[in-house]
Amino acid sequence: MSFYGVTDLWTYVLGAIGIILLPGPNSLFVLSVATARGVRIGYQAACGVFLGDSILLLFTAMGAASLLRTYPALFMVVKYVGAAYLVWVGLNLAWTAWRKWRESGRGVLVQVAPSQGSTETPAHLQRPFQRALVISLLNPKAILFLLSFFVQFIDPGYETPAIPFLILSAIVMACSAVYLSVLIVAGARLADAFRARHRVSAGLSGAVGALFLWFGAKLATASLN
């Protein structure tokens, strides 16, 4: 029994929620932007993630994983470019955290309000929509994972395979939207809570930067198998 070509619908829903809740560069970047620049800018980053996810889903439907397997050199290029970008974001986060830590120790830290201009915003948090889009797209392993995950829940005998694919895509995008909204609101509240606790804020930024470095290293060592 299938629901418009989708098999085991509730199993898929539970699996999608579990996957979305796992920490990743997309969610951490949105949380960092919301914490540093507020709810409105946080949603700009979230929109970049939504667009990137939509493009990855479209590529998955078009057989992007098969293309990467057919042309390993293309996979290597995408993989290393993506890894380098994640490392660059991580280093910027770590550098910003180090500056906050030193300035708070000297008592000269100036708090930048979320509404101030982007000229006073760290480079990795400027143009959040574009940066979130790039972070979402430069991950070939995500394409392979989406393909293997989706195939399990699509009835191969269904006459219009686009319908179950759209249903599965809508579910994962809705779950992602709810999760990112929670992170954005939480990030804004964290900013208020840590406004006078500069060293705590710097420590959290440094931890997020370290995670981005780890994501970049993991992507650089990824394989198609």
pLDDT for 68: 66
**Element housing 158 (H / E):** none
pLDDT (tens, 9 = 90+) of the chain, 225 residues, equals: 667 878 888 888 888 887 788 777 888 889 888 888 889 999 999 999 999 989 888 887 777 666 766 777 877 887 788 778 778 877 877 777 777 667 665 554 444 444 444 445 565 567 899 999 988 887 666 666 666 676 678 777 777 878 888 888 899 899 999 999 999 998 888 776 655 555 666 666 677 778 778 877 877 776 655
Check if the beta carbon of residue 166 is closer than 8 Å to that of residue 94: no
Cross-strand pairs, 3: 6
Of 122, 89, 97, residue with least CA distance to 213: 89
Check if the beta carbon of residue 33 is closer than 8 Å to that of residue 128: yes
Rg of the chain on CA atoms, in Å: 19
pLDDT for 45: 94
Tokens of 135: 């972070």
Of 213, 59, 85, residue with least CA distance to 144: 59
How far, in Å, CA of 150 to CA of 141, rounded?
14
pLDDT for 204: 67
pLDDT for 14: 87
Helices assigned H by DSSP within 62-125:
64-70, 72-106
pLDDT tens-digit series, residues 56-93: 888 877 776 667 667 778 778 877 887 787 788 778 77
Check if the beta carbon of residue 203 is closer than 8 Å to that of residue 94: no
Pairing assessment for the beta strands 2-3 and 6-7 based on DSSP bridges: antiparallel
How far, in Å, CA of 76 to CA of 185, rounded?
37
pLDDT for 42: 92
